[in-house]
Structure 1
């Protein structure tokens, strides 16, 4: 049976279809998919890193303009980004699905194709999961990874110190701009539209960059999922510090500036879904990171001994700038 719905195929049939697409074995796996639990080896000198995230139809994605292979890709990517923000590397993933019985089997196959494309790229093995019937599609992924030892080899939100510079990997605002292009069918030039859509549909987890940060002495970091201002505030609250950001230094892609005008700044500050790494360190450490990283590293501000979580924006002349609306927060707001 190649088509039909999940209800027609049944849970066991669907599991068999998915299992057939997974690699038969991977390094370190003693027991893989199909048993009551997966069993993996643990290497000496490494600490376990675990994260989990859920994507809910209608909350985190809209199937009217986001294909399911992209949903699968993003579902795994957001978890890999969390591991990256700790300076770790991902090894294994558990995938749990809740879905309506009338869901097309090929839709779930596409979902897994997106996940597997990213899993292969980062050498992550999908080792098990669960399925259940539900009124709407929910994808929950748990990723297990490692960090190389304790303390100095782990990035946390609580290690930022006054006087340190604030820096980011990559660029800001492209993913939020891509979401706007998809949702509003904006008539952009084809090359610009394609690059912005890809930024939203296929974010690139900065796993290698997270390890570069650790190796060169960075201690405080967070990934940018809810938006720069929101996530920087999370880091500052955890570290009991404030921050000052110079908006003219924000790394906003030309395609965003050219097509979104004055709104480009808001997209970069609070749009979210960038999945870049935001980190703090001394100027000397950041210079070493810049020399070693394979992506742009931009200093955008500094940590201040202000009220915990307080973020101040200034322009290039030092004049204060009003904060835009905050980024994503569940139960209180919906991203525009």
Structure 2
């Protein structure tokens, strides 16, 4: 939920058409030349070790997934006659400026410092972006949430294996709209620019974080831009769901086995032998700037996508992805 201690504040990089080289959607993603884009980090702490990495962003079809709609329908049923949700008829027009997207391990002392008091000692990720709408001329037939004449909001669905409610419990599945407890709207209320009275761009920032790095986690989010229109007589709110992206992170932790235990200095059976992830052989991958198109989703059957030359700014982040992806794939295939 937004604005909660030890929690996910959620962020969104919006997307992915550019990442896959497709052109079906009219918006693009741009990377800040001063941004932070660390995709993988290895950690070796007292009693455990592991690695954490970002999930490859994926395009979500305009209008949202069935899983999102199950949550939206449940929400509207709580307020009969007050909310109606619709799928947009046209894709978004505009661009997303990705400011930061990086992974955090226990040794990261400044996780989320760009937008809040930083986290440390746990695992998580940080995503920060701006959406720049296309300011369309009057009478243009393509609707676009510009933020100037319409109320534009962010809606985020979170799915993870460590629910923060009701009692911050690892192993309890979380499948929620990312809103505060008791909130009566479906909109993300964390670090985000929504509603009237602000410049045309829309800001979104999130730091999903867990404070138990000795446990293995998955944390996935679907982030959408939505437009609200309200009937001033009936007070009914109609919300149109536009395009979105899926983003998130993973960490895999395992107990360390010491030399005294016959484990060969901490390389455990989880690595499958010959596939041990150590500080030495991950030094080149740790904190490296990797192309987002080469992020590993955690699916051992996934093949890394090739980014065609010249795909916008991905050349910024382009060196050394293959070795990191292969390390992660070897690990998952051996488990």
Establish whether TM, by shorter chain, passes 0.5: no
In terms of fraction of residues, the more helix-rich structure is: 1
Taking structure 2 as the reference length, what is the TM-score of the superposition? Answer: 0.23
Greater relative contact order, per chain length (Cα 8 Å cut-off, separation 6+): 2
